[in-house]
Amino acid sequence: MIQNVTVKLKKAKVHITPSPDDDVHVVSGVPLNQERTGNQITIEYDQSRSIDVSLALPSSVRSLDFNLGWGPATIAQMSLTDADINLGLGNLVVTASQGKFDVNVGKGNVTMQQLDGDIDINAGLGTVFLQQVTANGDINDGLGDIILEDCRGSLDINAGKGDIRGSGTGGHMEVNAGMGSILFTDSHHLSLEAHSGFGQIKLVGGILDDVTCESGIGSVTVEARLAQLTVDIKNRGDIHVNIPTTQGARIEASTDQGRVVSQMELVEVNNPGPARGHRLVGSTGDGSTQIALHTRRGSITLGQFAEPEGIDVVDNASEGTSLDPRLQILEQLQQGHLTVDEADALLLQLDENA
């Protein structure tokens, strides 16, 4: 019973699918070298001419060591404990499969659809596209975009020079874009750490859990329901944050050089930074969401939007858990989240609005 398959080809168009029986079936226009040893088979063709190869592998196969110098490859409906895939030049497509996939593509696109398992993807030059993938692992792309649609899991994503885009994603993701933008839309309880060296970060729609955004140069825009948000722009860039009108939040917004404009009532407190900077704090609703925003050079705008009907959220205020605003301020002071001056300013604001 074959459990381990090794494939070595120089130039070919390869299709790998399940076998209808318990044996390995190889279909090619030229004879390939096949060596069987125990539960392992090695399939090899060392000529440079381009060939078409179809491999049908039985369900007993657990390990696939695939090496192709040049040409596209497609893997469909396979369940593999360990798949090591190396492709020098060409596109790779993996569909309706499960298992552990270690993928290395020098120049070409990587597409994975309807996959469940662990992944380690390394692409030198090309687009990485994941659709309906539930996986844990790493994605690295030197020069090309990384695109995720309806994906779940825990992923560490790195793009050297290219954009990172996600829609309908959930789970925990840490994304790093050296020179490119980061965009996530319609997220489903996504916990996100987003880092951009030179490019904008934009998170719009859906529900976000804990979110951290760090940027060297570039703007950060967040418009969604979220549990916690921290934004830090190290050099230059504006921050735009919009939260639902029904969401309570405690907000701290500071800029070393720029303005802070807010639809919500915030008060300016002593700013330990440069004289041209501003630091504002305040709260709305039950203050359950923590929002901390800072940019070195740039403006900060805060607003609210009416959330569409049908959003599945838990409103703490509707459950009778909201606290008196004064008690909240004193509690934050006691826990060390506010200084005495900040607490005094917030209490004074409450008196003025009473």
pLDDT in tens, 11-21: 999 999 999 99
The number of domains in the chain is 1
Conformation bin of residue 266: beta by default, left when phi > 0, alpha when psi is -120 to 50: beta
Q: Is 1 inside a domain boundary? A: no
- Integer CA distances (angstroms), 61 to 44, 58, 96, 197, in order: 18, 6, 16, 43
Cα–Cα distance between 55 and 80 in angstroms, integer? 15
pLDDT of residue 269: 86
Q: Is 3 inside a domain boundary? A: no
What band does 321 get if pLDDT is binned at 50, 70 and 90?
very low
Q: Is 39 inside a domain boundary? A: no
Instruction: Tell me the three state secondary structure of residue 329.
Output: helix
- The least confident of 114-118, 151-155, 174-178, 282-286 is 282-286
Q: Is 336 inside a domain boundary? A: yes
Q: Is 106 inside a domain boundary? A: no
Contacts of 57 (CB under 8 A, 6+ apart): 2, 5, 16, 17, 18, 19, 24, 64, 78
Mean pLDDT for the stretch of residues 144-159: 98
Mean pLDDT for the stretch of residues 273-281: 77
pLDDT of residue 314: 44
Instruction: Tell me the three state secondary structure of residue 326.
Output: helix
What band does 316 get if pLDDT is binned at 50, 70 and 90?
very low
Check pLDDT > 50 for residue 184: yes
pLDDT of residue 189: 96
Cα–Cα distance between 281 and 279 in angstroms, integer? 7
Segments forming the whole domain that contains residue 261: 239-306+323-354
Q: Is 151 inside a domain boundary? A: no
Q: Is 276 inside a domain boundary? A: yes
pLDDT of residue 346: 73
What band does 322 get if pLDDT is binned at 50, 70 and 90?
very low
Whether the full predicted model's pTM is greater than 0.95, yes or no, is no
Mean pLDDT for the stretch of residues 236-265: 95
Residue with tokens 């050297």: 160
Cα–Cα distance between 249 and 247 in angstroms, integer? 7
What band does 328 get if pLDDT is binned at 50, 70 and 90?
low
Average pLDDT in the chain: 91
Residue 142 CB neighbours (<10 A): 17
Comparison of pLDDT for 248 and 277, the residue scoring more = 248
Q: Is 251 inside a domain boundary? A: yes
Amino acid present at 109: N
Contacts of 203 (CB under 8 A, 6+ apart): 183, 184, 185, 187, 192, 194, 211, 213, 221, 222, 223, 224
Cα–Cα distance between 51 and 14 in angstroms, integer? 9
